[in-house]
Amino acid sequence: MRIFHVSEEDDIQEFLPRIPTRKDLDQSKGLVWAVNETCLPNFLTPRNCPRVCFHIGSNTSEADKEMYLTSCSRHVVIVENSWFDRMTNTELYVYEFNPDFFCLQDDNAGYYVSERTQVPMNKWKVENPLEELFRRQVEVRFVEHLWDSYDEIQQTTLHWSMCRMRNAKPRN
């Protein structure tokens, strides 16, 4: 298994545990966050880009595959149209960690956490996130608003992750 952290910062030497901002998590201990390789495409976007992401999981129904995926894609990232330029012009850095120091936090979203400071064992640059997603055979959909997809995908058997939705255009 491989795990990663994606950043717009190119010079992170160590990742210090931070108190989670999510209220559903324990606020008394800091965490270093990482994501597995399957869910890495969910983070190959500018940091603050709101997005709805989904992919086939072990329990995904044939009906959901037919309804939400094309024949050539097992993974989809949906982004608002207004983010197109930033998706092609933002440089990202992918840091890889030793998975031995992490534990699974959310299987659906592919999140792993560590309570210890982590030093990345590898790093590479992504010059064009959109091209990188295409290279990974991820379907990217651009839409005017994310909220319909946000509501709909949560009712499926797909594995999904919704990121930075506080930055999405308001609901109609």
3-state helix, strand, coil in the chain (%, to 5): 25, 30, 45
Mean of pLDDT values over 114-137: 97
- Global confidence as pTM: 0.93
C-alpha 129/C-alpha 83 separation (Å) is 11
Per-residue pLDDT reduced to its tens digit, 66-95: 999 987 889 999 999 999 999 999 999 999
d(Cα 85, Cα 47) in Å, to the nearest integer? 14
Residues 79 and 51: beta-carbon distance below 8 Å: yes
Tokens encoding 50: 């709101």
Residue 34 backbone class (left: φ over 0; alpha: ψ -120 to 50; beta: rest): beta
**pLDDT, mean over the chain:** 95
Cα 70–chain centre separation:
20
Low-confidence winner among 24-33, 53-62, 115-124, 137-146 (lowest mean pLDDT): 24-33
pLDDT of residue 13: 98
Residue 50 has pLDDT above 80, yes or no: yes
What percentage of the chain exceeds 70 in pLDDT?
Answer: 100
Mean per-residue pLDDT, 48-54 = 98
CA dihedral 34, 38, 39, 43 (to 10 degrees): 80
